[in-house]
Structure 1
Amino acid sequence: MKLLTLLLKLGLKLTILVAFIGGLALAIAYFHYAPKLPDVETLRDVQLQTPLRIYSEDNKLISEFGEKRRWPISYQQIPQNYINALLAAEDRNFFNHMGVDIKGLFRAVYQLASSGRIQSGGSTITMQVAKNYFLTRERSFVRKFNEILLSLRIEQELTKEEIFELYVNKIYLGHRSYGIQAAANIYYGKNIGELSLAQVAMIAGLPKAPSAYNPITNPSRAIERRNWILKRMHSLSFINDEDYNNAKNEPVTAEYHGTQIELYAPFVAEMVRNELYQYFDESLYTNGFRVYTTLNSTMQAAANQAVEDGLLAYTERHGYFGAEKTAAADPLTDENIIAILNKERTFGSLQPAIVLSTDQQQAEVFIKDHGHATLTWDGMQWAREYKGANRLGRKPKLAADILTAGDLIRVRAAAENSWRLSQIPRVEGAFTALSPKDGALRALVGGFNFNHNKFNRATQAKRQPGSNIKPFIYASALEQGYTPATLINDAPVVLHDGDLESNWRPQNYSKKFYGPTRLREALYKSRNLVSIRILRSIGIDTAIEFLTRFGFDKDRLPNNLSLSLGTADVTPLELVTGYAGLANQGYKVTPYFIDRIEDTEGNILYQAQPTTVCADCTYIADNSAVPADFSLIPQAPTTIIKSTEPQSNITSPAIEPEETQESEQTVLASTLTGQQITNRPVAPRVMKPQTAYMIYNIMQDVITRGTGRRARVLQRSDLAGKTGTTNDQKDAWFSGFNKDVVASAWVGFDQPTTLGRSEFGGTAALPIWINFMETALEGVPDLPIPKPNGLVSIRIDPKTSLRAYPGQENAIFEIFPVASVPTETARNPLQPSAEGTTRTEDIF
């Protein structure tokens, strides 16, 4: 008995001594490590790595850049079922403990002592927050001790809800998903609040081992983990019997959902990424910026379809290149074919397919992601052999004349559940559309397909515009005193140039000469010789200065008479920007495509301030374009950045006195289309309103009776435009507008070569423009641009441009500036002739 008492006393003393030594050791450790711990308060302002996301103006997702897919959400957005599932799986006492679960720690110590290795860390959600945000994943006692200290501090500084929110937004859950909202979208294509009980339990089972319990790659283990969590939820009374039974019997429905792109605009997405990368480098992909572009989703989708249809129509007109390759699989079993097709990419609507057999005028094919299908004769009879831009082979009579079993081909869906043989075009195209009011980019397509070729022809390809440049030459002439009725002699011209081996003898495309021609007729019929004579008359320097007002680069404008035929080098975006000045009654706007940038909290970090047309504003001081200075956005954005003071390097042209004040000053307070634009930069005027209207009125004739007549199918009276075709049909253009939209289409080969002798602006490019405008102008009132003061319409003789004589039957109406109205009257052929009634000074 005495021995037992002695042992008990000794044991007690040893226990006290061990406790004292342990406490002392803990105290020493605390004072050693505590000062080195990070500041927990930083968790309140933590910036989770979130990808860059790019949207259209109407909030359609265009693209996402960044390795970590994450959509941070607030605690209030987390469904209660998920909260309960995570508590059941990870930390049932989370809302009750002080950050450390003593029982869990003792359990971990016991497992270590009994097995000799760490089996579980006894971590709470708070401890995992401490580890995920501040510590490494190293398994050591020092790291665990720091984790415990940090957890205690976190519990003192933050609420339980804040801690829970930090945890669910940080954790990795497989397939590049970080946080529960990203996981819900990747596995189920839904937000976390839209998931069923079984689905949230599946997500709650991932933090322990995202690979082992992944419902896509390991569904059997995933369902075991899910059902265990459901059982725990049931035992903890989080769910009732019915919910438990229904959930555990629910089949696994998870499948991989990539980023849900809502609007296909990869060329613009790359423009945004490249623009911002200059300021942020790699941090661009983790700061969580949301960039809202100026794209209109309806217009962009229409542009995508119009360009694809236009280029495919061109390639069908010029014949079939043949199969892309021959399938090597033998035999052509479904399994072998699927393996082959899985290696081939789909470009736009063009899907890869393998020809299985041909029979008379049809073929059996196997289409990627579709399976077996039949190609009928209607879908392949166009495929005459391609022999060159101007040559086609004989018309096929049988499917075997076109296809052979084993051919890898391209098909696209056609009407009435049928398929059409197609091919990847070798020709390329570009399309741009702007708002003429402020230069906002509404749609842009840089080529047939971004995945096939990433070169952005809309912004990077410098091509000759051909006759697309003529409206600016003619507008310059109108500024110099010409009128739409001015007569210019359409006659041969021989020009001497020391830089050329021989004289230059330009011609009209028709190779004909038409004599004295009114300026209006010369433009809408695109007469080359008249354009040259006009340019020679007004002077090359005058024309170049006029063109630079609209944003054209002076260094890329030829300083010779070939300028009148469009031998400048311009990009499609530069050209459509110039045309915006024709569409908005003579104002210079600067194209822009980033409307605003927001941080993850929705704070506006950058807001565009585009130069805006405001014809009826009150002006008080000089103001022009504000540059897009993205360097103002902080690397760790926390505040709203205010706009800089506007700057300008645009010089307004010389304009008549009554307009000078308007062009050089800016708005104090006014409205534009119902929106307040106080303090917004105002677009400078670069052309007289009278000139702008006259050139618009003439370009309307391009569509009603000239080279753009195909556009009459739109049945609108407010459209104006101009075709453009370069020498040897290497470039085909159509640019046109009304007061709401200005757009330009280009078609050509990347390495300039002829499109074919039958391909012109009105053939290759205009159909693209028409298809776009049909959608873009749907529901837009047909309201032609109003005629400004200072212009009058009078009846003239179409041959002499003099006033029509009384009763003249073939007289036409023409527009004149008031000061330029003809004073002479044409001679009535039924009346005796009178000397001096025919002007000759305008015929040269």
Structure 2
Amino acid sequence: MFIMSKQDPKYSRVNRREQEQKNKRPKKHPRKKHHVLSTVLWSLLLLCIVVVAAGATLFFSYARSAPSLNEDSLKNPGATKVYDASNKKILTLGSQNAETLKQSEIPQQLKDAVVSIEDRRFYEHDGVDIKRTVGAAFSNFTNSSSGLQGGSTLDQQLIKLSFFSTKKSDQTLKRKSQEAWMARKLDKTYSKDQILTFYINKVFMGYSSYGMQAASKFYYGKSIKNLDLAQIAVIAGIPNAPSQYNPYSNPKLALARRNEVLDAMLKNKKISQAQHDEAKNKDISDGLLPYHQNKQKNEKAKIADPYLKQVLSEVKKKGYDPYGANLKIYTNIDMDVQKRLYNIANSNDYVYFPDKKLQVASTIVNPNNGKVVAMLGGRKNGDVTYGLNRAVQTDRTNGSTAKPLMDYAPAIEYLDWATYHSLKDEKYTYPGTNTQLNDFDNQYKGTMTLRDALVQSRNVPAIKTLDAVGIDKAQNFIGKLGFKYKKQLEYQNGIGLPSSTLQNAAAYSAFANGGTYYKPSYINRIETADGQVNDYSSKGKHVMQSSTAYMITDILKGVITSPMGSGTRAQIPGLYQAGKTGTNAYPDDISDKFPEDVSMDSWFNGYTKNYSVSVWIGYDHPYQGNNYLDKASERLAQLTYKEIMSYISQGKTNSDWSRPSNVLTKQLNGVRELYLAGSPDQSMMKDESKNSSRSSEKSSSKESSSEESEISSSSSSESSSSSEDSNSSSEETSSSSEDSSEPSSSSQESSSTEPSSTPSSSEQPSSSQPSENDGNNSQPSSSEQQQDSE
């Protein structure tokens, strides 16, 4: 084999040629690499300069629009103001429970505790702690727990409390820039001790107390200068989370927070190890007063206490801190109505209450927009601030006021039942059980119309109706009316739903306005310290046909006006209104411990086109002693309703409800009955009318013929305006199509009159004595927890 050596001329020529080609290629100079790197670095530097310049420009642009620094805002604690529906101030939060300290009156140990836990470098920075801000940002980014405090200094916290909203969504770059700018300005304007004094006097400390001096007296009953180290540490730890770190709400968290303050003071060399250990070994309850609440010193706020409690709860749900955000809260409360409701419950000038323990709760809603007009949480509550609000509690069932909601309205809505639909009141057991259902009188009335069954509040027809509708459909129906339950309801709930007066007033509003449900609302709008305004009007949802609402309303008028009605004591002469009674009897297994014919709860839900009112009467502890309702006490729900409805209806337009075009009328046994065009009951009614006409006298035959003519003409003009029969008070106008998703015209006034005007003879409230039989006192088996009656 021939092998070419390196010395071979051919081999050498090839190598030389390759080498020549390599030599012709341009050489890579190190200078060029350095030039590219330099260009990149200069570009990055220029970009940083541009970013910083843009940031600075943006920062100063934001800062220029920051609120002006003023001492009044820094000094005044709890600047949030609450207004009524007429924009008149009810109260300034905290102003009645605030106490301030002079700079010289603040104990050094308190200053040390606050600075150690909130801002260790307080005396070193100039309002903004860059090192701390970067550290906090890095900690948040890495999710590490480095023990660093938050990024805001005491100066920034004071600025936020005094001038800005504390809502999380409002913590924007603009807001942070303004806080930082104003904190720097604050630090230049005031001394460190002045700033610390502002902060100590301003912070919210729980239970409507503002300032650490007020908190010291509230929790320990003495001035802060008389507290020991452990107690001072408790006070210093509260502002970070007042609802969690106060010793009443959560002793365990309060103890942990107190010890955290003591540890910070030790680390900051403000106390010795011995002082630290001694204070840490003390019980959190050491020196603490027994649990109590602040007394309401503001008369308006005292009267509106339950309403204000709900307002503050709603404000928090919307993301605001009402105690530290300097808000203007405009509510829907009518203080005149609220005051009258309060006086009805707390004096015997209007309604006589047999003892101080008997309680009452009530909610008044505007059915046309869902605004809560007034609310009563109880009676004889003294001066307690934000006490128990029975108007929103859902641990008592609403008795037979559930029947229109869960039984009869769904039957009309889904099954097209007429008001004269035939039902039997007879011996009956709950479907799928051996539990017998009884009425207050343990009797049965036999065959009766739907109208009579509801007016007389018979239990068996109601549950039979619910069975025909079906639990699922019925629960879905009331779910759209604000009654939400995690579990499936049972048949017994057809005569009693666990609910509040707030839920009942809002649900019955849908009957009043023609089928639209509005979620009840306390707040009209909120204005933040920097001028932002947020409106909170409730948007209605059409939840039932206007024909359903109208037919239920027509029946419920009879609850008040009919001699057989259970709510005749709620009559207000001349006022177009409708309503329903409800009572709850004691369960069978304990009923023998109480007198006969007594109840635990009494309800009345009533409405006009302007207001929906729900009233509950009962005792907080119905199983104790003589805490039961006799017949006289049961009527207090109706009488309370009558008093407040009479008052709020003065000067309001008084008009009847308009009949939708697909609701037809028929005289049956002297009663004006209603049915839906094309419904099964219409055909049945025609057949019965024909059979009746063959055997009746000539005059009756003429009347029947006339009524048949009305049915025929009404059926052929279903979408046109429908005329009332000869007994109607006035000619009614047609409503919009039932298929429309918007509220129908049935909610509009058919005849606008002054409040002094009275209904026609067919609608005139009865002057007969009310029946003693409410139909409200059935006694379910002890195996059933349902305690409703009617």
TM norm structure 2: 0.49
Name the one with the larger helix percent.
Answer: 2
TM norm structure 1: 0.46
Which structure has more relative contact order (CA 8 Å, sep 6+)? It is 2
